[in-house]
Amino acid sequence: MKDIEIAKKYLEEENLAIAVVKDGNLIFKSHDKGIKPMYTLATQMVEMTKGSSIADKVIGRGAAMLCDSLYVKEVYGKLISDNAIEVLKKSGIIFSYGNICDYIKNRDGTDICPIEKIALQSENSEVLLSKIKGFFKAASR
């Protein structure tokens, strides 16, 4: 079974937000919502994720940019945005999805997701990571 299929299986069976599989082994999983699990990967686990496959409930532009910086080989998004697909295509990352949308909405569904907005204004993943860090700091106040 391919890594992406294993990751998708974990995502569904354990009702996870994200599952990361490399060489047939689950190397990371989380129930945390939003960008937090992907941010954790990008700031603490870059070496481990090279060549891995990620299954995630939601892949927006921000998550796709972080997947590129993590050197992920394949991504599955239960829900994926057009902006994310654009990034994944440019990055050469294989991707698949359950559903597609124009953009990821915020939690109450009234506007574009704040991380999607930040990602649209970030020219690369380093800038994005810095802005996400600031977003988390502001949210915790």
Contact 100, 78 (CB under 8 A): no
Q: What is the DSSP string of 35-88?
A: THHHHHHHHH-HHHHTT-EEEEEEE-HHHHHHHHHTT-SEEEEEEEEHHHHHHH
Residue 86: phi, psi to the nearest 5? Answer: -60, -45
**What tens digit of pLDDT does each residue of 64-120 get?**
999 999 999 999 999 999 999 999 999 999 999 999 999 999 999 999 999 999 999
As a whole-number percent, the residues of the chain with pLDDT over 70 amount to 100
| Assigned superfamily of 3-139 | Hypothetical protein TM1506 (3.40.140.30)
Domain borders along the chain are 3-139
**What tens digit of pLDDT does each residue of 12-56 get?**
999 999 999 999 999 999 999 999 999 999 999 999 999 999 999
Q: CB neighbours of 58 closer than 8 A, spacing ≥ 6?
A: 77, 78, 79, 80, 104
Q: What is the DSSP string of 11-29?
A: HHHTT-SEEEEETTEEEEE
